[in-house]
């Protein structure tokens, strides 16, 4: 709903706090799940008022095609950035009989970015129906509305998302060996400072964007010169650990500082297709590394 891992953590804590305070009134005529989700949904709807869209750089402007220069950083507080979610937050354990039925493909960054453009109640309807698998009647009860309103809201939400986020052709699941190979090659290219390998990984029409920078780049012919000039550094300056985010191949990123330590830098998420990596989104926020369960400083095994 809110497009931010850190904001989501705060809302989950508030959900449990409110549930604990009102537990005496829980009469067990419904499941705990159907009792908690209305609390969480109402908190999210309140948090989204006044509405502020979370975006990625591609949501700010057309791709940059001007003279070569370092990308410009957006001033703090000027933009609310979208954040990635660790997969273990949204994929229930296989042996959890009460686990939510999660449509994992509906949690990819492209869709979550599109969700930000929906009115808050349409966003809630789509998530409750298509991600959390509540019925139309249950969703209507959670939102205190009618089943007809839920059905029409879902139809409008689907249509708007189809306009906003066409899915790349040949998209690979993160467990696909080809996706794993692409992620490993991307990691190796940065750790070895091997621009040639990076060029092999990216599709010809790949896009590259990074928060909190305003400019983003379209086409391998534009992405590679920017990366080669302003990013790689020397071999060993970067260390990455493979993971997944929003059901996509991803890596936790560390950068070597002047004191020699490998310190948390952020998360990079790849859109892997049969033709190569179609989209790279880097989130330059060290706090996200802890959210994904990794340390702030990485032991150097080199």
Predicted confidence at residue 130, as pLDDT, reads 85
Residue 195 has pLDDT above 80, yes or no: yes
Predicted confidence at residue 35, as pLDDT, reads 84
Q: Considering the entire predicted model, what is its pTM? A: 0.87
What pLDDT digit, counting tens, does each position of 3-44 carry?
Answer: 998 899 999 999 999 998 888 777 666 678 888 899 999 999
* Ordered DSSP codes for the chain: --S-HHHHHHHHHHHHHHHHHTGGG--SSS-HHHHHHHHHHHHHHHHTSS----B-GGGTSSPP-SSS-PPPBPPTTTS-B----BHHHHS--TT-TT-----GGGGSHHHHHHHTTS-HHHHHHHIIIIIS---HHHHHHHHTS-HHHHHHHHHHHHHHHHHH-PPPTTBPPTTSHHHHHHHHHHHHHHHHT-HHHHHHHEEEEEEEEEETBS--EESHHHHHHHHHHHS--STTSEEEEEEEETTEEEEEEEEE-TTS-EEEEEEEEEEEETTEEEEEEEE--THHHHHTT--SEE----
Structural domains of the chain sorted by starting position, each given as residue range(s) with its CATH number in brackets: 5-50+82-164 (1.10.10.10), 177-298 (3.10.450.50)
What pLDDT digit, counting tens, does each position of 146-179 carry?
Answer: 999 999 999 999 999 888 866 667 888 888 999 9
Among 109, 167, 155, 104, residue whose Cα is nearest residue 132 = 104
Look-up: residue for tokens 């400019």? 215
What pLDDT digit, counting tens, does each position of 100-141 carry?
Answer: 444 556 677 877 888 888 999 999 999 999 888 899 999 999
Angle at 255 between CA 253 and CA 257, to 5 degrees: 155
Listed range (32-41, 50-59, 91-100) with the worst mean pLDDT: 91-100
Predicted confidence at residue 45, as pLDDT, reads 94
The predicted model gives 242-259 an average pLDDT of: 93
């Amino acid at each position: 709903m809110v497009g931010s891992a850190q904001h989501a953590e705060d809302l989950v804590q508030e959900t449990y706090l409110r549930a604990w305070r009102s537990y005496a009134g829980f009469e067990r005529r419904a499941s705990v799940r159907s009792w908690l989700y209305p609390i969480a949904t109402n908190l999210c709807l309140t948090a989204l008022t006044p509405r502020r869209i979370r975006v990625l750089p591609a949501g700010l402007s057309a791709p940059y095609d001007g003279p070569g220069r370092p990308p410009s950083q957006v001033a703090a507080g000027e933009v609310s950035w979208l954040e990635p979610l660790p997969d273990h937050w949204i994929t229930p354990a296989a042996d959890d009989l009460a686990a939510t039925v999660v449509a994992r493909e509906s949690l990819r960054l492209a869709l979550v970015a599109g969700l930000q453009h929906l009115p808050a109640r349409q966003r809630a309807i789509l998530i409750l129906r298509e991600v959390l698998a509540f019925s139309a009647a249950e969703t209507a009860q959670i939102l205190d509305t009618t089943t007809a309103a839920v059905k029409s809201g879902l139809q409008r939400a689907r249509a708007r998302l189809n306009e906003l986020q066409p899915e790349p052709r040949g998209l690979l699941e993160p467990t696909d060996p080809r996706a794993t190979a692409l992620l490993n090659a991307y990691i190796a290219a940065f750790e070895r400072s091997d621009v040639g390998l990076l060029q092999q990984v990216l599709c010809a029409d790949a896009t590259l964007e990074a928060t909190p920078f305003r400019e983003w780049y379209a086409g391998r012919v534009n992405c590679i010169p920017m990366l080669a000039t302003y990013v790689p550094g020397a071999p060993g300056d970067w260390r990455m650990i493979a993971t997944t985010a929003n059901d996509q191949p991803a890596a936790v990123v560390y950068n070597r500082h002047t004191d020699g330590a490998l310190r948390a830098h952020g998360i990079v998420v790849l859109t892997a297709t049969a033709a190569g990596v179609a989209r790279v989104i880097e989130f330059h926020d060290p706090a996200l590394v802890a959210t994904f369960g990794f340390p702030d400083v990485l032991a150097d095994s080199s």
